[in-house]
Amino acid sequence: MKIVKEPQELVEELVNLEREAYSSLVIGDFKKAEENYQRQYDLLRAREDKLPADEKYHKGSPLYNWGIALLLHNRLLDGFNKIILAYVEDLLDFSKLEDALQAPAFKTLDSYALITKELLKKLELIAKQRRETNQVPKNPEEILAQAKNEGQADLSAIFTVANIKKTPLTIETLKPLIQDQLEKLGPKEKRVFVGGSYKNMAVLRYIGKVIEEKGFKPVIPVDLPKVSADDYDHLIHDVSIEYLKGCTYAIFDVSITNGHLMEIERARDDAHLKVLLTYQRTSANRIPTITQMVMTAGFRKAGYNNFTEMTIEIGKFLEN
């Protein structure tokens, strides 16, 4: 089976759907994101069926993203089903079978306790056999059906309400998603975490704008796919810390103390992270009313009276 590239007109449709889906993830509209990733996949499948019998498209990316959107919507069974299909696509299409074990789909599945090692290994063996006998299907559902016929338990039998409650979503399951989003932003040495109170969002947005103008990439957790606060409130800080760990620089505006002290404390423990604390001041001696831990930490600090002064301080920080 030959993996072929999509024609340009199809690529443009896929890119538009990706853009809409990502925007939906950012604002927490997981249902809309699910719909757009499904449209991506369905579009590829429909066009794929018109290809010659020995050609197919790789559909791992929309399946994986569709699955993640479902997970974030707390639809674990449906979400992991889609990610399993993404894993199958990787097994069938990657130039080397073992490369699929380094991809986000496998890592996400491998990190969740209800997904058994036996299932992952069975899918790998079936894919290997199909590749060796030149019987690679265009539809990854065929591989799941074969696994079921050969004795693998259906996922719905494993993902019962009781089992899900005993095995909730963890930060380990979400790490592949976080890593994927960070890599899309560019190399780690150019990533700058932006932290602070979301009550001060206009300032955080401005900091992000300055960072981009200096040739770096801002990482503002509220702008990236995140867990639903209604279902996974216990993961919100963990997700933010993972984004922080994926950066070389961090800028925290501490003018308002609220919600970001955990990230600052984590930054203090990372000797490789370069940190700047910015704060608004009305006089040379005025500093924000925040904990002594923050102001006595060995971080670079910069007060500012206006955005011009802030811009200069951020420039100095990123240039060093």
Q: pLDDT value at position 224?
A: 54
Q: Do 231 and 74 touch, CB atoms closer than 8 A?
A: yes
Q: pLDDT value at position 223?
A: 59
User: Do both 130 and 201 map to the same domain?
Assistant: no
Of 125, 145, 167, which residue sits at a domain end?
Answer: 167
Q: Shortest CA distance to 244 belongs to which of 297, 196, 173, 316?
A: 196
Its domain, for residue 44, covers: 2-167
Q: What are the tokens at 87?
A: 């894993």
Q: What confidence tier does 172 reach under pLDDT thresholds 50, 70, 90?
A: confident
Q: What is the pLDDT of residues 211-252, one digit of tens each?
A: 999 999 998 876 555 444 444 455 667 777 888 889 999 998
User: Do both 120 and 180 map to the same domain?
Assistant: no
CATH code (residue 243): 3.40.50.10140
Lowest mean pLDDT across 11-15, 62-66, 153-157: 153-157
User: Do both 23 and 162 map to the same domain?
Assistant: yes
d(CA 166, CA 302): 47
Q: What are the tokens at 206?
A: 């401005």
* CB atoms closer than 10 angstroms to residue 11: 11
- 169-194 burial code (b ≥16 CB/10 A, e <16): bebebbbbbbebbbeebeeeebbbbb
Q: Do 107 and 135 touch, CB atoms closer than 8 A?
A: no
Please check the confidence at residue 110 and state whether its pLDDT lies above 70: yes
Q: pLDDT value at position 20?
A: 87
CATH code (residue 98): 1.25.40
Higher pLDDT, 47 or 162: 47
Higher pLDDT, 242 or 51: 51
Lowest mean pLDDT across 18-32, 102-116, 256-270: 256-270
Question: What's the number of domains the chain is made of?
Answer: 2
What is the enclosing helix (H) or strand (E) of 58?
Answer: none
Of 152, 167, 182, which residue sits at a domain end?
Answer: 167
3-state secondary structure labels for all residues of 175-238: HHHHHHHHHHHCCHHHEEEEEECHHHHHHHHHHHHHHHHCCCEEECHHHCCCCCCCCCHHHHHH
Q: What is the pLDDT of residues 244-285, one digit of tens each?
A: 889 999 998 888 765 556 677 677 667 788 999 888 876 656
Lowest mean pLDDT across 34-48, 185-199, 269-283, 289-303: 289-303
Q: What are the tokens at 56?
A: 């197919």
Q: What is the pLDDT of residues 53-79, one digit of tens each?
A: 999 999 999 999 999 888 877 788 899
Q: β-strand 249-253 against 274-280: which pairing, if any?
A: parallel
Show Cβ contacts of residue 169 under 8 Å, excluding neighbours closer than 6 positions.
Answer: 71, 76, 112, 227, 232, 235
User: Do both 55 and 104 map to the same domain?
Assistant: yes
The average pLDDT across 178-198 equals: 84
User: Do both 111 and 81 map to the same domain?
Assistant: yes
User: Do both 202 and 144 map to the same domain?
Assistant: no
Percent share of the chain, pLDDT over 90:
41
User: Do both 47 and 189 map to the same domain?
Assistant: no
Q: Shortest CA distance to 78 belongs to which of 166, 153, 155, 140?
A: 155
Q: β-strand 55-56 against 2-3: which pairing, if any?
A: parallel
Q: What confidence tier does 161 reach under pLDDT thresholds 50, 70, 90?
A: low
- DSSP alpha helix (H) spans, the chain: 8-26, 30-48, 60-72, 76-93, 104-110, 117-132, 141-149, 155-158, 161-166, 171-185, 201-213, 236-245, 261-268, 292-296, 307-319
